[in-house]
Structure formats: C-alpha cells, structure tokens
Amino acid sequence: MTTDQGQRIVSWHGNPSRPRYTPPAGAVDAHCHVFGPMADFPFSAKAKYLPDDAGPDMLFALRDHLGLDRNVIVQASCHGTNNAATLNGIARSNGKARGVAVVDPAISEAELAALHDGGIRGIRFNFLKRLVDDAPKDKFLEVAKRLPAGWHVVIYFEADILEELRAFMDAIPVPLVIDHMGRPDVAQGPDGTDMKAFRNFLDSRDDIWFKATCPDRLDTTGAPWNAFADAVAPLVADYQDRVLWGTDWPHPNMQDAIPDDGHLVDMIPRIAPTERLQRKLLIDNPMRLYWPEEWDR
C-alpha cells in the first residue's frame, strides 16, 4: 500500500480493532518504532524503504487504544544512525517511553551519555541483508564494550545464521535481547530445528532475552496465527523471566500483509495463558530491563 505521495509506504492498519484481551495496568509494548515525521526527521539516504509518517502522536494513540501503558521505541533502519526521531518520541512520552538506538560504532562516550540522558537503554545490531548493507562484527563488538552501565544489545537476525553469529554474540559482554526470537520457522512447531537451536542458544547464558513478537511476520498461515501460538507458548513458559512482547508497530515492510494490532494483542493470552505469565511478559521483564530505577523501588 502506498500513499498519494507516490513511493512512500504505509505498513500499518488504519483502523485496528479493540482487543478482546485486556492487558494488565502498566503493560509495556517493548518493541515498536516511529517514522519521522519526515519534515522534521529525514530518513537515511541508505534506507531500503521510505515509509509515510508514523510519529509519536500516532504511536501513543495506538498504545491507549490497545490498553497498554508504556513503549520501548526501537530505532528503525530507515532512520539509519540518526536517532533524533526516536529521541523525540521518548521526549514526548511523559516518561512512558524508553528506547533502543542504532549507532555508528565510532560513537564517542559523550554521545553515548547523551543518548542515555535521552532515554536510550540499548543499541541494536541488524544482520538482515535486505535492510542493511554492512554489519561489521568487529566494530560492533568494540562499541558493545563501551556502553553505559545497565545497557544491553539488541540483535536482529534470521534463523539460518544463528550458528554463524554465535561466536560474535558470545563475546558481547552485556545482556542480549533477540528480536523476534531470531525469526524461527514456526511451521516446524515447538520442537522444530529452528526452535531447538534457539533454545540451545538461550541455555548458553542466562542474560539472553528475547521478544515473543511478530506472528504476522513469522506465521505464513495468517491470522489468527495458530502455528505461531503453538510454537511460541512453550518457549515463553520455559524462559518466562527473559521474554518481552511488543506490537512491532508500524510494522516495517509489512505493507502487503498488514496486521490488525488488536489481533496482535489478542495473541498475548495464547502464548502466556496465566495472569502470572502475562505480568512477567508485559510488566516485570520490560520494567526490569528498561525502567530498573522504578522497578527496584
């Protein structure tokens, strides 16, 4: 779907349903993005897609519509290493958003400190070739060793390169958060090759977190995404203290299969069927990772 501006892309639902499931008070959408507005925050010249504007006002309106309370805004690849749009979203959230940045590995300590002051609590390394041209592991590792206290590294990759990345990820000296579980083939089921490999990775250290997210990306059967629910629920149950959830709004590059965000929220009780699990998924875990100063009080 494109807008009347020609090549600019709309990848989000224009009228998402209200979820049947009611999240607990304080629930966190721990994986979402903002796009622009382009007039204020231009997109990177290296961007692989050019989205229409999806700024903080839209994000926070969706948050309220879905019954959520906080956001973790993850820098989208279309903004490159200029985190101004993400920082703007955090600044306009009245304390209800934190963020994950994408940085030039040569970033200075002063610049990292400024990102921390702006609400950033981690950096993201993207290994999807369709989204980035260069992913220098040696430089990534160097900057990972210089992060402010309490930060983590978010990594986005596809299941077929998990083993290739293991030595690199093992060397990162801060907690890891894996986007979308490393994109396993959920059609294989909970005991499939991809999920077994991911479990083996999670078992290798106790500070690897993951996002049980994106049924719309991972389950080709379409809504209600039964294959995703069947494959992911056991993973959530077995690693319940290290799992996060998010909408992935505004769903970059999903313009041909745009999900209804209300239906995404309705996946929560299917992968976390008890109130205890739901609280860990939506409140305890993201608060511990992104708002530890509030969580420790």
Tell me if residue 169 falls in helix, strand or coil.
helix
Decide if 248 is catalytic: yes
List Cβ neighbours of 119 (8 Å cut-off, separation of 6 or more).
Answer: 87, 90, 91, 97, 98, 99
Pairing of β 97-101 and β 176-178: unpaired
Cα distance between residue 46 and residue 268, in whole Å: 35
Asked if residue 269 has a cis previous peptide bond (ω within 30° of 0), the answer is no
Distance of CA 160 to the CA centre of its chain: 20
What residues contact residue 232 under an 8 Å CB cut-off, 6+ apart? 181, 186, 190, 212, 215, 271
Tell me which of 104, 248, 256, 296 is the catalytic residue.
Answer: 248
**How far is residue 41 from each of residues 7, 115, 126, 294, measured CA to CA in Å?**
18, 16, 21, 31
Active site residue ranges: 248
